[in-house]
Amino acid sequence: MSRGDLTGPGSRPKVRPSSPSNSGLLSMTPDMPADLFARKQPGITLSDTLAQLDMKRLRGHRLRRLREQLKKHDVGGCVLMDGINVRYATGSRNMQIWTIRHTARYAFVATEGPVVLFEFSGCDHLSKGLETVTELRPATTWFFFTSGPRVPERAKKWAAELADLLKTHGGGNKRLAVDRVNPIGLAALTELGVEVVDANPAIEVARSIKSVDEVACLYAAISVCEAAFHKLREELKPGITENELWSHLHQVNIARGGEYIETRLLSSGARTNPWFQESTDKVIRAGELVAVDSDMYGLYGYFADMSRTFFCGPGKPTGVQRTAYGLAHEQVHHNIGLLKPGVGFREFAEKSWKMPEAYYPNRYMSIIHGAGLCGEYPYIPYAGDFEGRGYDGMIEENMTLCVESYIGAAGGTDGVKLEQLVLVTKNGAMPLSTFPWEDALLA
């Protein structure tokens, strides 16, 4: 069996079965234009005549990737408390927002052995039939809301069950990787002789390399995000409020099978500078810029992370608005051109687009970050921030990365946010979105 291939001849992708050695990684023909490749994504409904997403293969790839990293970190297994990590390892989801806040479900993954999903009371039926889950058990919840003063008692019960699983299936390895645990839980595991280490280095690196099916999931999620942006663009007229406009992102995403939006990053007019101003009931006026970052958890739970800035007509953009947009557009495309396998994070930061001094104080927090089931590893800051916030690493084939830009002069009244999600291929980076740029602002 060989690599899954989304680039065979014909109007639909050809997806071949993948072997355990390469996990169905994506390959493309060297001369295929990015926009054509984007249009070769599989459909999202079942068909017996066309190549489709293979969810069993997707789950297998993700679990193999996690276990490969657990072996590298020399642990007997891991406990995943974060709902997104549980979903990555098992393919199971349940009340995702609520369980991100409350540790009401979690998973034990033996490096070599079973996967035990501890499910919220009364919800076992949601994960029955998943080949990634060896055993279902009721979760022992020990957050204060449900446990009150009994938290220490219940935390000890939680820890004892996990310590027993590690003893039984860890091959004598007493090291247990945990992605999120509070001091009481940490103490309870330590008292039982468990050496607790951080699971995040293993799972973040595991998640950074996508299979052909994960890329197809991202294509599907991005397609919904593009539809939501198109709807937002249609509804953008003087007199609409930021909140009314922002609501269209949710409506389209949910109506088409998406899940939720993580932030409220839509702003207009002078509220576009500086960035990170949340959507309000401000009325949008003619001649203003409207900047939006989707932060959208779309189809299959994949993170459709795009940013665009629109001009609210009638009228024509000012020179300041066009200059800011042109610089942001230039930054995104310059940095996309630098992405290829083997480029170091520090090297990329040093070669990245140099921002004019007037805009540098308001720069975005990163120039690149990963995206999969959420915003994830890697993270590359500006060269000037690298010593304080950066870390070493390497761009790899089949990473999916968000290329970021925010341009807003310090003390100015207009800002432009652009962001493009790309796939790193052996030949360079390829955009996963075909959504157009704002012609009026590029004129």
Query: Tens of pLDDT along 285-305?
Result: 999 999 999 999 999 999 999
List the one residue out of 218, 170, 213, 176 whose CA is nearest residue 196. 176
CB-neighbour burial class of residue 142 (10 A; exposed 0-12, middle 13-18, buried 19+): buried
3-class SS at 296? strand
3-class SS at 59? helix
Residues of the chain with CATH 3.90.230.10: 212-442
Residues of the chain with CATH 3.40.350.10: 57-207
- pLDDT at position 19: 36
- pLDDT at position 217: 94
- pLDDT at position 30: 43
- pLDDT at position 431: 95
Distance CA 332, CA 328 (A): 6
- pLDDT at position 37: 58
pLDDT < 50 positions in the chain: 1-30, 32
Enter the tokens of residue 74. Answer: 């020399």
Q: Tokens 């949710």, residue?
A: 250
Q: How does DSSP assign 311-362, residue by residue?
A: E-SSS---HHHHHHHHHHHHHHHHHHHH--TT-BHHHHHHHSPPPPTTTGGG
Task: Return the CATH class of domain 212-442.
Answer: alpha beta
Cα dihedral 399, 83, 280, 221, rounded to 10, equals: 40
- pLDDT at position 69: 98
| Residue 332: C-alpha distances to residues 267, 282, 307, 358 (Å) | 20, 29, 11, 18
- pLDDT at position 45: 66
DSSP alpha helix (H) spans, 136-282: 144-147, 151-169, 183-191, 200-207, 212-235, 242-255
Q: Which residues pair with 416 in a beta bridge?
A: 407
List the one residue out of 260, 313, 256 whose CA is nearest residue 289. 313
Enter the tokens of residue 442. Answer: 């590029």
- pLDDT at position 3: 31
CATH number of 57-207: 3.40.350.10
- Report which residue type is found at 392: D
**Pairing of β 77-80 and β 375-380:** unpaired
